[in-house]
Structure 1
Amino acid sequence: MNPSFKFVLALIISLEISLKTSLTTNLLIIIFALLYLVYKHISPVKLLLTLAVPLIAAFTVFATLYWFAPQPDLYNAFSLASRIYVYTLTIYCVSIDTSPENLARSFEQNFHLPSKFAYGVLAALNIIPRMRQAVKQIRTAGMMRGVYLSFWSPILYFKAILIALNSAENLAQGMESHGFHEAASRSVIVTVPVKQRDWLLAAFILLSFNLALFTLT
């Protein structure tokens, strides 16, 4: 499915279940999301981590609404706690086979977002590995001088910000030298088309979800 369609679909589902309580629908979404992840050959370790990480948040919501509420409601507690897993699993289903680069390109081509937004996102994503390497180099250089820069050291982040500003300036100059201009139309290197099956599949999923949401308890 088109990356933009998957993102909007997950967003609509998350918004609708936050407005209407339906434990059965939440459980169905969780089951289908897990089946989709298994279909995408997710490793058992990642699947267990995906289920274990939201457990604390889900348990906190359940305990607050059931054990510490003036009027405990088991159904409402389970329903709101299951929403944590719905949010987590739907976003994971979107991201498992959709790279940030494809999502940014899809937003630009299919939703007509400004090109400076798409290129800014791509630039930020590509600079993250360089920043990690720069932080390691700064800490190594400090240790060679007998100075240990901890994770929360302001000196470390000050130097990293200076490197980021320098990299941003070099990136801006590089884009201008390659003819980038905000108002000019640009050709597309990697196309992200919207196919008819994307519309049909998105409509089918959205219709099935709303039928379950408003008919099941």
Structure 2
Amino acid sequence: MKKLNPTVKFGTILALALLVSFQNNVLLNTVLAVLFLLLVSYYLPVKKLLLLSVFLTLAAAGVFFTGLIFYRDNQHGTTNISSLQYAIGLASRIYCFGFTGSLFAATTSMTAFIYSLQQQLHLPAIFAYGLMAAFHMAPMIPHEYRNTINSLRSRGITNNYFSIKIVTPLLVKTIRWSELLATAMTSRGFSSDETRTYSQHYVINWPDWLFCAGLLGLGLLLTIFHGDNLFK
């Protein structure tokens, strides 16, 4: 999975997510969730896999009862097989989306994904490096958030965690970071109009096409099978 082209991998997973989103197909959701769970379990440690499963289960339980109550209210307060199928279909989507997204995150680095978008989809360099900069700055925000809280506490000021007195310094710092980064890139001669070279080239090979065709074919096959059952 790590050797697959990041753009093809992302496009395939996105297409599967759209296919799942526009239908209430429990069989499709279950097959994809189990398949990607097996793949994710190979790349994630057991602790992270269990933590991911717990969060997905909590989210799925909430969606299940929400869908069940919503469907029951529209059916004049009656709970039947259709309402259970509707709720199970919504809940199974959570596992499907969670495991597919986790597999992409576990097998693809942000740098490789950005470079692949530049080479395969011709993403402009100014957007590519902006995304990369934002990704690398994100881990700094929690550290600055804690520093801001400690700084206010040292002055005898206590606020809740979403106070404007805490959020405002963070916004100012992020703006300052972006200005410094833009200045640094300009001073080093960065230009979005110039032709750039890459230390690593990403190409689309036959395993990428096999991965894309196999998963999309499986998704379409289960969609057609589900549609045939609906009309019986």
Which whole-Å CA distance do the structure 1 matches of 2:173 and 2:65 have between them?
Answer: 46
Offset of residue 16 of structure 1: 0.9
2:107 aligned counterpart, secondary structure? coil
The residue number in structure 1 matching 2:25 is: 22
The residue number in structure 1 matching 2:147 is: 137
Asked if structure 1 preserves the Cα contact closer than 8 Å seen for 2:26 and 2:89, the reply is yes
The residue number in structure 2 matching 1:62 is: 64
Structure 2 gaps of 5+ residues are none
The residue number in structure 2 matching 1:80 is: 90
Structure 1 gaps of 5+ residues are none
* Pairs within 5 Å for 1:1-217: 1-40=4-43, 42-67=44-69, 69=72, 70=75, 72=80, 73=82, 74-148=84-158, 150-216=160-226
CA-to-aligned-CA distance 1:39-89 (integer Å, 9 cap, x gap): 22x222222222221333322333244355115412232222211111111
Which whole-Å CA distance do the structure 2 matches of 1:32 and 1:21 have between them?
Answer: 18
CA-to-aligned-CA distance 1:8-47 (integer Å, 9 cap, x gap): 111111111222332212111111111101222x222222
Corresponding residue pairs, total: 216
CA 1:188–1:145 in structure 2 vs 1: closer, same or farther (change >3 Å)? same
Asked if structure 1 preserves the Cα contact closer than 8 Å seen for 2:6 and 2:112, the reply is yes
Offset of residue 101 of structure 1: 2.2
Offset of residue 149 of structure 1: 5.1
**If the length of structure 2 is used for normalisation, what is the TM-score?**
0.83
2:21 aligned counterpart, secondary structure? helix
CA 1:61–1:115 in structure 2 vs 1: closer, same or farther (change >3 Å)? same
CA 1:123–1:65 in structure 2 vs 1: closer, same or farther (change >3 Å)? closer
Bigger Cα displacement from structure 2, 113-122 vs 46-55? 46-55
Offset of residue 174 of structure 1: 0.7
1:163 aligned counterpart, secondary structure? helix
Asked if structure 1 preserves the Cα contact closer than 8 Å seen for 2:68 and 2:87, the reply is yes
CA-to-aligned-CA distance 1:160-213 (integer Å, 9 cap, x gap): 222222211111111111111122221223433322221222112211221122
Which whole-Å CA distance do the structure 2 matches of 1:20 and 1:164 have between them?
Answer: 40
Bigger Cα displacement from structure 2, 164-173 vs 135-144? 135-144
**If the length of structure 1 is used for normalisation, what is the TM-score?**
0.88
Which whole-Å CA distance do the structure 1 matches of 2:108 and 2:213 have between them?
Answer: 20
What amino acid is the match of 1:103? F
Which whole-Å CA distance do the structure 2 matches of 1:18 and 1:159 have between them?
Answer: 39
2:139 aligned counterpart, secondary structure? helix
2:195 aligned counterpart, secondary structure? coil
